[in-house]
Amino acid sequence: MTNPVIAQKSPYVLELEPGVYWWCACGKAKSQPFCDGSHADSGFSPVKVEIQEKSKVALCGCKHSKNMSRCDGSHNKL
């Protein structure tokens, strides 16, 4: 698999508690935007997201962001 699956053409805007999360980079996870292991044999690996304090984040849904887990608006060009 050379290109990730586009899970959605908009970010996942979430309020997250402090902790460690694993963002799905392949786009195949059923638990979007988080990894569920569906990337096996895809050539993709999940990206670690560390949240220090409760905050609202926009995680990439199209899987094409140059910022990896954070939305950079790349979905507008797909």
- Least confident span in 1-5, 20-24, 56-60, 70-74: 1-5
What's the pLDDT tens digit per position in 19-61? 999 999 999 999 999 999 999 989 999 999 999 999 999 999 9
What's the 3-state SS for the chain?
A: CCCCCCCCCCCEEEEECCEEEEECCCCCCCCCCECCCCCCCCCCCCEEEEECCCEEEEECCCCCCCCCCECCCHHHHC
pLDDT for 8 equals 97
Confidence of residue 1 (pLDDT cuts 50, 70, 90): confident
